[in-house]
Amino acid sequence: MFPLPATPASLISIAVCSACMTWAGAARSETGADLPPSLSTAASAVDIERSTSFYLGRIRADAAYARGLSGAGVTIATLDTGISGTHREFMQAGKLLPGFNAVTGGTDVTDRSGHGSHVAGIIAGARDGRGNAGVAYGAALLPVKIFPDSGSGSTLALDAGLRHAIGKAAIVNLSIGASGSFDPRAMQQAVSSGLLIVAAAGNDGAPTSNWPARFAREAWANNQIIAVGAVDASNRIASFSNRAGDVAAWFLVAPGVGVTSAYRNDQYAVMSGTSMAAPMVSGAAALLMQMWPRLRADQVATILLVTATDLGAPGIDPIYGRGLLNIEKALQPVGALTTTTYNGKTIRVLSGTMQPSAATSAVWSLAASGQLRAVGRDDFQRDFGIDLGRTVARTTAMSLDQMIRGMGRRIEVAEHVFDDDTEMRFARESWTGRNVLQHDAPHSRLAAASLQAHGRGGMQASLALGAFAGQEFGAQGLKLAPDLPLSQVGGLANPYLSLLPANGHVAVAREAAGFRFKAGLVASGTRDPLASTDIYLPSSSPMPRARAGVLEVSRSFDGASMSVSLLQTRESNAYLGSYSSGPLSIANRAATQSVQLAGALLLMPQLALAGQASYGITPGHAGDSLVAGVTDLRTNAFSLALVAADRFSRGDRLSFAVSQPMRTYAGRLTMDVLSNEQARDRLVFSMVPTGREVRGELNYQAPLGPLSSLGMSLLVRRAPNNIADAALDKLLALRYASRF
């Protein structure tokens, strides 16, 4: 076939289409008196080079440089008018590989036109504070001269140049254009060999690209040919640039107006054209190949295409194609990041969340210090270092709602004794809030209920729901005097029962030989069974549930009482009060055995001292996430409280408690994570938290008459949630309630 002409796209425009191609400035030397005075210092020189290389910011190349990428180790063939080997931009050792003159078959690739040097400078010009910087300034260049010095070339030379690049380069830059289609066999060979071909779209202002860029639409191109158009400073398609047309799916745009780069005879020139836009894409491809050497050419092309910044009509359009080259986004994951667990399970790296509890707060400290890292892979199997700490939520501070269940609420407790053997208590919660019509309106609900029945032979049965559940056991269940109810002191609650927001308990007890033996079951679910007006929204994660079996022995003396409680607490969708899913899922269930020693002493009438010490063990298990397993976790908790009645007014209640909430004091967590494309790391972390929470809580309640009451709560927590560097947590709440 008679070869069709193939000439540099910019030179076509310069020579025959000045309306489409703007020569933005004459070639100039940057030596001697032509240098601005500001270039006398290195810092200002770097600033000027950066200003000259404005296109780097437009295509967001800095994201690559911040990662240490420069294109090093990647070779880009430029099939053009040659390269000026004595130009300062190409003088670094290893920058220029031995060239090939496809016109003569020799090795003289001297650029006497300037076009090839200009293109090469945009691809890989030195980052040295002078002239301009190339997009892939560390890449190697393979000069292939396919044009005679007279200008116009032929596809014979183009084909010879393509075949020469096979096996020597990873990318071929074609800032050229032909006036029609031509024999594509050399292009097909280049594609089959694994070369990525970046071709200028042409400078005719036409609705579609010229050849060879237009070959991108062919099935044999295998997504390895990218057509490149030019945009101006406002990211509008340049007037001279050919549009995407029928190659829109393989079409990118890049800055192509007023680009400064190397020229012949150690000079620089400002040029415009799709010839200037194409080498920016070639440089971007080199940065990706350096970062992920295993990527195939078609994968590199696809990544650059799908991560482009959309311009023009939404989506792929016939003018801008995929949009503006965006290196920063190209370096980010495409699709969902996944990784594999030690047992081969594939999971999404950043799916799910981890909400630690005070007992598992070591996980938060590990997350905050950046120790929870893994390697994830995107849709192109590119590896990314991921900070798994992003999925860990910090444990929360105390809130008013936790302390007084809302300042606008009040709980009315009614007690009724049917006879000497049966007692019932009811608690009704009232508050003012918005109804469905968005008007303030009173609301109320039954918040708690309990029933105690005494039988013959010292037998006793009890049933409780809502707020009264769990108060029958441990230190809160000790009896000293009717007007000193320890059940109202939150610091004395059994910490292992606090793993479940108790909805209800059932228990039986028997007096024998001076001892009281008690057995019970405490259970919780997703909602309070008495809260029939509450609305629970659906969640993608299962709600936590728990239940506990309790065996307790207690004895009362004259002015004293003590108990020993044995518990087995079983959690579902929770682990020691923490909730987790995804890569850091510790477990979806836990069975904790614990013992609590509790005692109370009446110091004087209306004043008592009470305390408890609890110890627990949660058996270890193998994990099914990046957490490969957890050893046995050993936990403890302590509290001491002073409780007084009738201190300042008749019927008032005063308590002061100092406590250490549940804290892990022994145990380890093991993670098994991908560390790179081939290896795995096994990481072992201590589950002992960095701090120890000490909580002080002062509570006072007093009636102000038959219809009103006053309450005050002061809470101070040092190292809240057992996190050493956490700020002191302070909360003061005052509550006044009155009936009208």
pLDDT of residue 25: 30
Note if 539 is an active site residue.
Answer: no
Residues 173 and 308 reside in one and the same domain = yes
Q: Among 308, 330, 352, which residue terminates a domain?
A: 330
Residues 376 and 492 reside in one and the same domain = no
How many angstroms separate the CA atoms of 274 and 8, rounded? 10
pLDDT of residue 457: 65
Domain with residue 242: its CATH number is 3.40.50.200
How many angstroms separate the CA atoms of 281 and 173, rounded? 9
How many angstroms separate the CA atoms of 529 and 632, rounded? 34
DSSP state of 719: S
How many angstroms separate the CA atoms of 602 and 562, rounded? 12
Residues 377 and 420 reside in one and the same domain = no
How many other C-beta atoms can be found within 10 angstroms of the C-beta atom of residue 601? Answer: 15
Structure tokens at 465: 């729901």
Query: Sheet of 346-348: strands edge to edge?
Result: 346-348, 338-340, 373-377, 383-387
Amino acid present at 484: L
pLDDT of residue 451: 72
How many other C-beta atoms can be found within 10 angstroms of the C-beta atom of residue 1? Answer: 7
Contact 145, 176 (CB under 8 A): no
| Its pTM surpasses 0.85 | no
717 membership: H or E segment, kind and range: strand 708-718
Residues 113 and 202 reside in one and the same domain = yes
**Polymer length of the chain:** 740
Structure tokens at 588: 């979806």
Residue 470 sits in which domain range? Answer: 400-738
Collapsed DSSP state (helix, strand, coil) of residue 189: helix
Contact 20, 205 (CB under 8 A): yes
Secondary structure E strands in 102-170: 140-145, 153-154
pLDDT of residue 77: 98
Residue 590, judged by CB atoms within 10 A of its CB (0-12, 13-18, 19+), counts as buried
| Number of domains within the chain | 3
Structure tokens at 44: 């200002």
Note if 115 is an active site residue.
Answer: yes
Residues 453 and 346 reside in one and the same domain = no
Contacts of 539 (CB under 8 A, 6+ apart): none
How many angstroms separate the CA atoms of 736 and 710, rounded? 5
Contacts of 213 (CB under 8 A, 6+ apart): 174, 177, 199, 200, 201, 202, 225, 227, 228, 247
- Diameter of the chain measured on Cα atoms: 118
Q: Among positive and negative, which fits the CA dihedral 335, 337, 342, 345?
A: negative
Q: Among 330, 353, 374, which residue terminates a domain?
A: 330
Give the active site residue among 10, 13, 70, 80: 80
* Tens digit of each residue's pLDDT (9 = 90 or more) over 312-336: 999 999 999 999 999 999 999 999 8
Give the active site residue among 10, 70, 84, 115: 115
Q: Among 298, 330, 362, which residue terminates a domain?
A: 330
pLDDT of residue 416: 57
Residues 487 and 627 reside in one and the same domain = yes
Closest CA to 596 of 508, 475, 477: 475
Residues 322 and 459 reside in one and the same domain = no
Note if 232 is an active site residue.
Answer: no
Contact 306, 322 (CB under 8 A): yes
Residues of the chain with pLDDT under 50: 1-42, 400, 404-411, 431-432, 434-439, 526-539
Structure tokens at 158: 């183009």
Residues 360 and 436 reside in one and the same domain = no
Residues 458 and 582 reside in one and the same domain = yes
Residues 116 and 16 reside in one and the same domain = yes
Residues 49 and 159 reside in one and the same domain = yes
How many other C-beta atoms can be found within 10 angstroms of the C-beta atom of residue 315? Answer: 9
Domain with residue 527: its CATH number is 2.40.160
Closest CA to 174 of 2, 7, 1: 7
Contacts of 325 (CB under 8 A, 6+ apart): 59, 252, 253, 254, 280, 281, 284, 304, 308, 309
Give the active site residue among 113, 275, 462, 578: 275
Place of tokens 């630690």: 356
Residues 272 and 299 reside in one and the same domain = yes
